[in-house]
Amino acid sequence: MPPRTRRPQRRTDALSRERIVETAVELLDTAGETGLTFRALTERLATGPGAIYWHVANKGELLGAATDAVVAAAVTPGRSEPTAAAEPTGSAEPAADTAGSPTAQTAPGSPQDRIRRVALGLFDAIEAHPWLAPQLAAQLSRTPWGSVTPRIFESVGRQVRALGVPEGSWFTATSALVHYVLGAAGQNAVNAAHGRALGPGLDRAAFLDATSTAWEELDPDDYPFTRAVAAQARDHDDREQFLAGIDLILTGITVTAAGHTPARAEE
């Protein structure tokens, strides 16, 4: 039972699917995956469960809508997330990019740059919303015809096309990139989870340290490689690492498109 700091009634604007999804994202961000319940939702929205069920079919659909909303915001360039803010988005200026590059209407830079930007967008979204990673996996494996997969696929695929990849390889190249991004982002989501399972005050660096320490304590006979690499794991930078992987795949794509295919040719 949380303290009654929140005013129990805010009947200002009417209930809407959008407002419900918005509140769901808030709840997920604040209280984690287990924090999204219909009771918490009804309390925040000052209604009964029936009202929510009029706008939303069930909890699964609500989770899907929340996932889609966050992904859409992350993948659409120049749009910041309106999730946490209660007021509708006006003409908000895009936040300053950490890379220093301006965000224009048509994204600037080489196709490689734009792929990196899309990938980092998703990466950061998962870091900001740790519940997104397993949700994304569940979403994708259940309904790939939903709106989440095409959204990501489209953003990446356009740049693959711009890269000059022959049409016959579009699907393969785009799939490889998307799968990598989802896998890597999912794995790295933990770094933003505020030490849920670790106790408070254990931040990102301490967490990495704990992980690589755990790896160093593995059985030398069973895990020689993982132990040897534990040191590298300790002081790696997530985003750099993530981008290095993107570059590895981009290299593979461009080299393969040029007709070399050394991975198979070597054998």
Hey, which residues between 143 and 182 contact DNA (CB under 7 A)? none
Amino acid identity, position 7: R
Q: Which two tokens stand for residue 233?
A: 């794991």
Rounded Cα–Cα distance for residues 210 and 215 (Å): 9
If one asks whether residue 15 binds DNA (CB under 7 A), the answer comes out as yes
- Degrees to nearest 5, angle at CA 216 with 215 and 219: 85
Q: Check binding of 49 to DNA (CB under 7 A).
A: yes
Position among 32, 33, 44, 51 found at the interface with DNA (CB under 7 A):
51
Which string of x and - marks every residue 53-92 that binds DNA (by CB under 7 A)?
Answer: xxx--xxx--------------------------------
Using the minimum distance from each CB to a copy of itself, give the nearer residue, 85 or 228.
228
CA distance 96 to 100: 7
Instruction: Give me the residue label for tokens 């670790």.
Output: 198
Say how many residues make up the chain: 267
Question: Who's near 183: CB < 8 A, 6+ residues apart?
Answer: none
To a copy of itself, the closest distance from the beta carbon of 264 in angstroms equals: 6
For residue 76, the 8-state DSSP code is S
Q: Which is nearer to DNA, 42 or 191 (CB)?
A: 42
Nearer to a copy of itself, 55 or 158 (CB): 158
- Closest to a copy of itself by CB, 92 or 137: 137
* Residue 59 contact, options a copy of itself, DNA, none, Cβ 5-8 Å cut-off depending on partner type: DNA
14 contacts which partner out of a copy of itself, DNA, none, CB within 5 to 8 A by kind? DNA
Alpha carbon 169 to chain centroid, angstroms: 26
